[in-house]
Structure 1
Amino acid sequence: MRQTIRWGIIGCGDVTEIKSGPAYKMTDGFELVAVMRRNLELAKDYAKRHDVPRYYNDADKLIKDPEVDAVYIATPPDTHHYYALKVAEASKICCIEKPMAPSYAECQEIQNTFEKQSLPLFVAYYRRSLPRFNKVKSLLEDHVIGDVRHVSWYLSRTASDLDKSDTYNWRTDVKIAPAGYFDDLASHGLDLFAYLFGDFKSANGVSGNQQNRYSAKDIISGSWEHESGVVGTGMWSFGTYQREDKVRIIGSEGELSFSIFGEVPIGITVQNHHENLVIENPKHIQQYHVENMVKHLNSDFQHPSNGETATHTAWVMDKILGKI
């Protein structure tokens, strides 16, 4: 009989309300027993609404709680490295929100620490576990569009109300997210491309701050090559007149198109025939990611998103930004 793994969450903010937190409660083999937030009243409120027995405003107390077997770090990325090393010191299982850390160097240290201690380490690049993207992967493996030649991703959005105001937003604070929304959003797609086409062989890019609304970068372009020979390009612009999110995978016989963030149909075009394939995401979008953690911990199944894969994604991002 397998043992139930008891989880604690550090940083029970918006991402944990619907996307992730409930998945830890509803997954057989997992139990959510504690949460932490710096504001004790907010931590208490979260615990009450989600029926979590214990709450803290001190991360060390949650990490050292003997009734907590595993820790999910859901804070802004600038504290991921700090908390992850504390979780490793406590010899506990860990899952870290993406990006794993703001830099490749910090990701390397986290990964090496957990690897040396043979501790399970997961990172919440949950698209690797979603049915819609695994369908894309199977279509590629079945050579539906022939041999893949290149992939392109264009992501743009209008300036948000937060961007136009004096309200603090950690996602555009250069000290926390040096490349702004690129750190938060582009990491998802680049990680997915490594999953679909194999590891990146090389990458480079150009970046800047065109709007001067905040300290982080607001426009980035990149190009890369996968070890498989697939070539890719990306453009991420966060001050345009409209929102757009489109990936095109071009093959020798056709193409696939889809959105990284929008729940739009997967477009399949082969010769003169086009069809749309609809695959809906679950209500709690990290559900399959969390379920795969249970499978990894209780069988020979290898979770697709771990410290090693996330560290590689961090390397790609730093290469595009010219940081390494």
Structure 2
Amino acid sequence: MSGIVRWGIIGAGGIARRRTIPALNLISNARVAAVMDKNGVTLSQLREEYGIENCYQEEEALLGDPEVDAVYIASPVKFHLEQARRVLDAGKHLLIEKPVALDAGEAEELLRYASGKELCTGVGMVMRFHGGHESIRKIVRDGLLGDIVSCRAQLTCWFPKMDGNWRQVKAIAGGGALTDMGIHCIDLMRYLLGDEVEKVCGMVDHKTFDYEVEDSVSAVLRMRKGADCFINANFNIPDEAAHCPLEIYGTKGSVLAYDTIGQDGEGDIFLTVSDSEKGYASSQVRSGTDGGRKLPYEQVNIYARQLEEFSACILEKRPARTTLADACQTMKVVDAIYRSSLEERTVYLD
């Protein structure tokens, strides 16, 4: 392989067309070699829009293309496990969109299948690549906020009922607001805190729309080091009304971020560091504070950064930042939230 990874894409409509293909055109160590989609109209449009010559309607054709080194899977979740197996059997490196599979059992099955193969594998947990989130992670790891006490992460959108939309069909998507959006919040908490989930309490609801999957999720995650993380994911909040907050509070300060949990790599972050040694103040005056110091960070295309780093991992034969093992841990939390809501109890993780 030369210094450029040649990518094939399975499921070239949707997120691949909106984000991944444009991102691949921004980086120097990768390029689009082939795309596959069942929709012939989509393929014709991609050929015209991006000049992609190798357009296939069958997976086998793309996987048999010798010009393809790695494959990005962005198909409906129902097909992830079997398609990923075929990619690995074809000797191609694998980056698969979240959720990695319909449930934790399928995710672990894929992890076992990939084990021992000398291929780079990873999952598209793209929020990890936000420049601001990387800064927050360093602040937490450096102890600037002290011991982490409480956190909150929210990701929402307005997603009304649409005939034929596979994300609203449980057997195809696996779930709704939790698997599509809340999963990013869970993974981000694990990543930023460098911690794992010990137990969960969750509420999964159909509040607004009458499709099969949930449109609202609220959950509390107790982390092993003691922090409580509040997760909200919604398909029923208008985009204009949402700011998708990320909040981390510790014994020495806080980080408050707005609009960073999203697809654009943007948003504002405010850092407050307090003198926790000064003692108790009975007045508890909070008015008049400036909300913290606005934190500068590198704004990047998070999809391009993810693909650039993953391509470098392939070329340098090193593990990806977002591994299949990581994805399995997050899927276990997702499954626990569904179980907690169904059984109306706290669910402990191993």
TM-score, scaled to structure 1 = 0.89
Deviation at 1:306, TM superposition (A): 1.6
- For residues 105-254 of structure 1, the aligned pairs below 5 Å read 105-157=105-157, 159-160=158-159, 162-163=160-161, 166-197=162-193, 198-240=195-237, 242-254=241-253
Corresponding residue SS for 1:220: strand
Which whole-Å CA distance do the structure 2 matches of 1:299 and 1:178 have between them? 34
Deviations 1:246-299 (A, max 9, x none): 1211100111111412732112122366112244643x4311111111332233
Which whole-Å CA distance do the structure 2 matches of 1:10 and 1:86 have between them? 11
Q: Which residue of 1 aligns with 2:282?
A: none
Q: Which residue of 2 aligns with 1:268?
A: 271
**Percent sequence identity over matched residues?**
25
- For residues 277-296 of structure 1, the aligned pairs below 5 Å read 277-279=295-297, 281-282=299-300, 284-296=301-313
Which whole-Å CA distance do the structure 1 matches of 2:8 and 2:63 have between them? 8
Poorly superposed stretches of 4+, deviation over 4 Å: none
Corresponding residue SS for 2:335: helix
8 Å contact kept, 1:209–1:218: yes
Q: Is 1:60 the equivalent of 2:54? A: no
Unmatched runs of 5 consecutive residues or more in structure 1? none
8 Å contact kept, 2:8–2:35: yes
Which whole-Å CA distance do the structure 2 matches of 1:234 and 1:55 have between them? 40
Q: Which residue of 2 aligns with 1:72?
A: 72
Give the direction of change, closer, same or farther, for the CA distance of 1:240–1:134 in structure 2 (3 Å limit).
closer
The correspondence for 1:308, drawn from 308, 320, 325, is 325
Which whole-Å CA distance do the structure 2 matches of 1:118 and 1:229 have between them? 37
TM-score, scaled to structure 2 = 0.83
Give the direction of change, closer, same or farther, for the CA distance of 1:41–1:240 in structure 2 (3 Å limit).
closer
Deviation at 1:29, TM superposition (A): 2.9
Q: Which residue of 2 aligns with 1:297?
A: 314
Corresponding residue SS for 1:201: strand
Deviations 1:142-189 (A, max 9, x none): 2222221121224455x54x43xx533222222223431221111112
Unmatched runs of 5 consecutive residues or more in structure 2? 275-288, 341-346
Which whole-Å CA distance do the structure 1 matches of 2:335 and 2:225 have between them? 21
Give the direction of change, closer, same or farther, for the CA distance of 1:172–1:296 in structure 2 (3 Å limit).
same
Which whole-Å CA distance do the structure 1 matches of 2:222 and 2:319 have between them? 25
Deviation at 1:201, TM superposition (A): 2.6
Amino acid at match of 1:317: V
Which whole-Å CA distance do the structure 1 matches of 2:271 and 2:88 have between them? 44
Amino acid at match of 2:164: Y
RMSD: 2.3
Deviation at 1:95, TM superposition (A): 0.6
Bigger shift: residues 242-251 or 269-278 = 269-278
